[in-house]
């Protein structure tokens, strides 16, 4: 019974670690697109790692409904140099999964 309680406690802790987190205002430095159904967005500031291998970038999944809107915001931020706030939720492979990108003046 104690082993089950310990296992459930560890599961709850690992689930809590993958909650939505956000950066402070930061600048997008690079966008990388490849043929593997993701876009890598690189930032000046470190991104909350969410337990992923890399925290210098966030990944946008091209199969999500908001991919065009998020890429539009990312491209606008990159070309104008305006700051953004990024929200991430869990990992998408090797880096945090982008769920929200907010562009500032």
Q: What is the C-alpha to C-alpha distance for residues 78 and 63, in angstroms, rounded to an integer?
A: 22
The beta-strand segments (E) located in 1-105 are 21-22, 28-33, 38-43, 57-61, 84-92, 95-103
Which ranges of the chain would DSSP assign to H, the alpha helix?
Answer: 2-16, 67-80
Listed in sequence order, the residues at least 6 apart from 5 whose beta carbon sits closer than 8 Å to its beta carbon are none
96: number of Cβ within 10 Å: 27
The dihedral built from the CA positions of residue 93, 68, 40 and 53, taken in this order, carries a sign that is negative
What is the value of pTM for the model shown? Answer: 0.79
Tens-level pLDDT at each residue, the chain (105 residues): 555 554 445 444 444 456 999 999 999 999 999 888 999 999 999 899 899 999 999 999 999 999 999 999 999 999 999 999 999 999 999 999 999 999 999
**Domains of the chain (ranges, CATH numbers):** 2-103 (2.40.50.340)
């Amino acid at each position: 019974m104690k082993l089950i309680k310990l296992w459930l406690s560890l599961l709850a802790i690992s689930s809590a670690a993958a909650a939505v987190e956000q950066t402070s205002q930061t600048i997008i430095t690079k966008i990388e697109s490849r043929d593997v159904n993701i876009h890598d967005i690189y930032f000046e500031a470190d991104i909350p790692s969410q337990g992923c291998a890399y925290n210098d970038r966030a990944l946008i999944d091209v199969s999500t409904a908001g991919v065009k809107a998020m890429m539009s915001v990312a491209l606008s931020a990159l070309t104008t140099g305006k700051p953004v706030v990024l929200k991430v939720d869990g990992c998408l492979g090797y880096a945090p999964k982008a769920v929200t990108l907010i562009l500032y003046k």
